[in-house]
Structure 1
Amino acid sequence: MSTQSQAEVGFAALTPDRILDAVEQVGVRCTGRVLPLHCMENRVYELEIEVDEAHPPKSPSERFVVAKFYRPWRWTPEQIADEHAFLADLEEDEIPVVAPRPFPDGTTLRRLTDAPIWFAVFPKAGGRSPDELDDEGLRRLGRLLARMHAIGGARPAPHRVRLDPDGYGRASLEVLRTCGALPPGLAPRYEALVETICAASAPAFATAEVQRVHGDCHLGNILWNDAGPRLIDFDDMVRGPCVQDVWLPVLGRDAEARRQRGVLLEAYEVLRPFDYRTLALIEPLRALRMVHFSAWIAKRWSDPAFPHTFPQFGTERWWQDQIEGLAEVRDIVEGRS
């Protein structure tokens, strides 16, 4: 049985009673109302908890907690501990994130007694994720990223993957080869493009400073409310260059995207210097993300949610589109466009 199939068997152990029992270990009482939340990688549930109605909570969100059950064998407990340590450091510095609630013994991670599933319980955070940001939003986000990176650079995350051509590019390519996901007729060109981009960008990655970064800081992982932006979902935190968190909120290549990135970085530099040389890593990072994404889907293909969500994956059209995207990156990296 594959690791992926084992994960699905493991998730089958998440009966409503087990979910409630796990959550109540943080010292709350659940009302029994459980709402599954959309999450492809883990199993995440919103649970209503009992509150003292004589002293009602200030926010409706305080009537709920969110339980995250990590996909079996996706992360080691040490890797999850690195995530929780980063969140704790950020919360201690009053940076708006959603850190896990501690259990009575002070830890934030536990394992189900009868299944290989680690879990944590988080406060519910309200907010919205806009599709784009105006200049003031970019400035506020730039300042927040600078604060996050200042804390991220203060301590290591020794068990987390390094975001570089080997850790994200070649490793993901090997997954695709092992899974047999690449069509024989297109595999040589795809593999050659990945290797060319990895080799061409390796010197720039080698000289870039590496630290704890969010790693998946697209606009969907930034919640906004009247107080401003809040960073969520640190599952994919990595050891990488800070530019990884700068390009994802502004994905484009055109003049307007460059202008928006400039607005963000101008605000960032009010609080922390930014190494502008690392902007040259944006296109290689774009390619690494593409390859990593395809490998992620390939590894999860036995989970019925993945064929349903990504019906085009594995088709010749999918891989042709990937090759076209990688060729664009290759041309930019090599100065052809």
Structure 2
Amino acid sequence: MSEHRTEAPYADLDPATVLGALQDAGFPCDGRLLQLNSYENRVYQVPLDDGRVVVAKFYRPGRWSDAQIAEEHRFAAELAEAELPIVPPLPLVAAGPAMTVSAETPTLGHYEAAPGRVFRLAVSERWAGRAPELERPDTLAWTGRLLARMHQVGARGRFSHRRTLDAQTFGHQPRQRLIELGFVDPEIDRGWINASATALEEVDRAFERLGTIRHLRLHGDCHAGNVLWRDEGVGAGPHFVDLDDCCTGPAIQDLWMLLPGERSAVDAALHHLLDGYRDFMDFDDRELLLIEPLRTLRMVHHSAWLAERWRDPAFPIAFPWFASPSYWSQQAADLREQVERMQDSSG
């Protein structure tokens, strides 16, 4: 991106800008828009003049570099070419003067909404689906098989620009950002500061105990909300959406968030999920010891994620409790519980 062009804030992304960007990307719209649920990016369902319906994603300014987005798009295309039910971004064209599309990444557009003010966007086909019934053994096994096939593809190559999921990138660095941004008061929130430090020490020890483990290209954010179930037609069964957080890490990262919250049901669900997974891919049972450390990293990372986006007007409305004094005391209590869980699982 030219030094004279900066990414425009979401406040500038009005309906006319969305429709203009799609028009200039080669997707003439019929004038209707439906904003979909996404806090990280701005995502719209858009009917086109030719009767098709597409999904347009406008990337959050400053989060990813063009190189990181390009790797996300290439990974999605690689999965689709392997006949996995993944919807890859569509090629764009510079059909209008405000749109720029590079030959290296034809699925990523740069739309200059105003002089020097640019939005980055991608467009994909719309696939409908419903929430998966993850309490069913057959659903878990089917999802496990699909994840294993995704990991087979992920093991074939490497990311050069995407993040690696480890204690530094998802734990220590987010914790430090929270302190530096002023969201954590060293005096008032001393309980969280101490609990997070202790919890991350346990995470460090958990990774050190395991030693060398296999790292793959992963979905990275594989929770139930990013799995849609289709009952019939092409891609019947589970399919995964939103590779925005794809990263490098251990296979268990794409499995543990699909487990139920009730601890009594975790072992049975994990059995069915891994039973399907092992039909296509070996699994290192040592990685099961990373479930609680990874949960801990997600807790710390989520707090930093909220803090870094607090100036986005959508966040105080959606997460009003984040600014409350009780938030950090509850987080401290949860992290202390995580310390106990990690110590128990380490034997």
**1:264-322 CA distances to partner (integer Å, 9 max, x unpaired)?**
10111011111111010000000000000000001111112111111111323211221
- 1:151 Cα deviation (Å)? 0.4
Which residue of 2 is the match for residue 59 of structure 1?
none
Is the contact between residue 156 and residue 212 of structure 1 (CA under 8 Å) also seen in structure 2? yes
Per mean C-alpha deviation after superposition, the further-off stretch among 186-195 and 43-52 is 186-195
Are residues 1:266 and 2:295 paired? no
After the TM superposition, which residues 50-199 of structure 1 pair with which residues of structure 2 at under 5 Å, given as runs? Answer: 50-51=49-50, 63-104=52-93, 107-113=106-112, 114=114, 115-130=117-132, 132-183=134-185, 184-187=187-190, 188-199=193-204
Is the contact between residue 199 and residue 338 of structure 2 (CA under 8 Å) also seen in structure 1? no
- 1:87 Cα deviation (Å)? 0.3
Matches of 1:130 and 1:148 in 2, distance apart? 18
Q: CA separation of 1:112/1:206 partners in 2, compared to 1, >3 Å: closer, same or farther?
A: farther
Matches of 2:108 and 2:210 in 1, distance apart? 33
**1:32-75 CA distances to partner (integer Å, 9 max, x unpaired)?**
111222211111111111227xxxxxxxxxx2111100011011
- 1:252 Cα deviation (Å)? 3.3
Matches of 2:168 and 2:262 in 1, distance apart? 25
After the TM superposition, which residues 267-306 of structure 1 pair with which residues of structure 2 at under 5 Å, given as runs? Answer: 267-306=276-315
Are residues 1:39 and 2:48 paired? no
Are residues 1:320 and 2:329 paired? yes
The one-letter code matched in structure 1 to 2:83 is E
**1:245-266 CA distances to partner (integer Å, 9 max, x unpaired)?**
1101104362321111111101
3-state SS, counterpart of residue 312 of structure 1: helix
Per mean C-alpha deviation after superposition, the further-off stretch among 34-43 and 18-27 is 18-27
- 1:16 Cα deviation (Å)? 2.7
Aligned residues: 321
Are residues 1:15 and 2:14 paired? yes
3-state SS, counterpart of residue 122 of structure 1: strand
3-state SS, counterpart of residue 18 of structure 1: helix
- RMSD (Å), alpha carbons: 2.0
Matches of 1:66 and 1:45 in 2, distance apart? 6
Which residue of 2 is the match for residue 3 of structure 1?
none
Matches of 1:87 and 1:241 in 2, distance apart? 19
- 1:204 Cα deviation (Å)? 4.5
Q: CA separation of 1:202/1:111 partners in 2, compared to 1, >3 Å: closer, same or farther?
A: same
3-state SS, counterpart of residue 43 of structure 2: strand
Matches of 2:318 and 2:253 in 1, distance apart? 26
Which residue of 1 is the match for residue 99 of structure 2?
none
Per mean C-alpha deviation after superposition, the further-off stretch among 36-45 and 275-284 is 36-45
**1:133-164 CA distances to partner (integer Å, 9 max, x unpaired)?**
30110011010000000001111111111111
Identical pairs, percent: 39
Gaps in structure 2 of 5+ consecutive residues: 1-5, 94-102
Q: CA separation of 1:35/1:253 partners in 2, compared to 1, >3 Å: closer, same or farther?
A: closer
Q: CA separation of 1:265/1:26 partners in 2, compared to 1, >3 Å: closer, same or farther?
A: same
Per mean C-alpha deviation after superposition, the further-off stretch among 269-278 and 124-133 is 124-133
3-state SS, counterpart of residue 157 of structure 1: coil
- 1:95 Cα deviation (Å)? 0.2
Are residues 1:209 and 2:207 paired? no
Per mean C-alpha deviation after superposition, the further-off stretch among 27-36 and 211-220 is 27-36
Matches of 1:212 and 1:135 in 2, distance apart? 26
Matches of 1:316 and 1:98 in 2, distance apart? 42
Is the contact between residue 196 and residue 332 of structure 2 (CA under 8 Å) also seen in structure 1? no
Q: CA separation of 1:191/1:332 partners in 2, compared to 1, >3 Å: closer, same or farther?
A: closer
Q: CA separation of 1:38/1:228 partners in 2, compared to 1, >3 Å: closer, same or farther?
A: same
Per mean C-alpha deviation after superposition, the further-off stretch among 133-142 and 194-203 is 194-203
The one-letter code matched in structure 2 to 1:136 is D
Per mean C-alpha deviation after superposition, the further-off stretch among 99-108 and 273-282 is 99-108
